[in-house]
Amino acid sequence: MTDTSALDAAHVAMDANLHDNAARLRFFERLADSELFLMLTEEAKGENISPELFDVADGSFVLAFDREDRLSRFAGRPVPYVALSGRVLSSMLSGQGIGLGLNLEVAPSSMLIPSEALGWLDTTLQHGPEEVQQRLAEFLPPVGLPEDLLTALDAKLATAVGLAQAAYLVGTKSEDGGSGHLLGFVGTVEGAEAALAKAASEALTFSGIEAGAMDVGFFAPHDPTAASLAKVGLRFDLPQPQERVIKQVAPGSDPNQPPILK
């Protein structure tokens, strides 16, 4: 495990230029996608939790850390906690007038995030893609897309473990002459379409690109369209869950492990 987390790196980039909107957006995207360990006053009882509240001059804050060891170092003693994503935590705190103390005193990303910022994050995350129908005439290599979008897509799709085999980003030309871009998912797990479309939408939002600048489609691996995407598209490989292989060895078959005699 390295000392620097994804949140640390995003915070350092944001802190280096506070007027860089793209860096701020990337930090909030990492916050939403990160697993956080929220300090509690007592053990969780089912879905009921009681976050530890700290009052400072700037208001009330809960404390959360992006690693269990960071929570332990801050507390200095065993404390109850619950693990939840940054998007769930922002939704939980939105409108409550409560901010977030993130990695306080134990990481480069140590900061107080005010309640207004959490409300903005929750509202932003609620934006979703709209379903439209369009007949495409041609797929082309993608051109003119900002590096921020490609970086955001790569990071976002890295979190979509096992939801599809791959995705291809292509340029498109419609039958009426319009042009655009399409992110085509190949080999999508049944029922994962909405989650993948939302992930693509968030990549657009947090890269600062106007909504609607990219369409999303889903194709079976043997669909001729999938082959067309692969010919001209920029490929993103989605992580796949590791398969557990259980190998049974007959007693006495391994010369380094003789059978046990009873």
Q: CATH topology for 136-237?
A: Alpha-Beta Plaits (3.30.70)
CATH class for the region spanning 6-125: alpha beta
Alpha carbon distance 63, 52 (integer Å): 7
pLDDT one-digit tens code per residue, 178-188: 888 899 999 99
Nearest to 214 by CA among 132, 158, 121: 132
- Residues 69, 76: contact at Cβ < 8 Å? no
pTM: 0.72
- The distance between the two most distant Cα atoms of the chain, rounded to a whole number of Å, is 81
Alpha carbon distance 243, 230 (integer Å): 26
| DSSP conformation class of 200 | H
- Residues 107, 5: contact at Cβ < 8 Å? yes
Each domain of the chain, given as residue ranges in start order, spans 6-125, 136-237
pLDDT one-digit tens code per residue, 157-201: 988 899 999 999 999 988 777 888 899 999 999 999 999 998 888
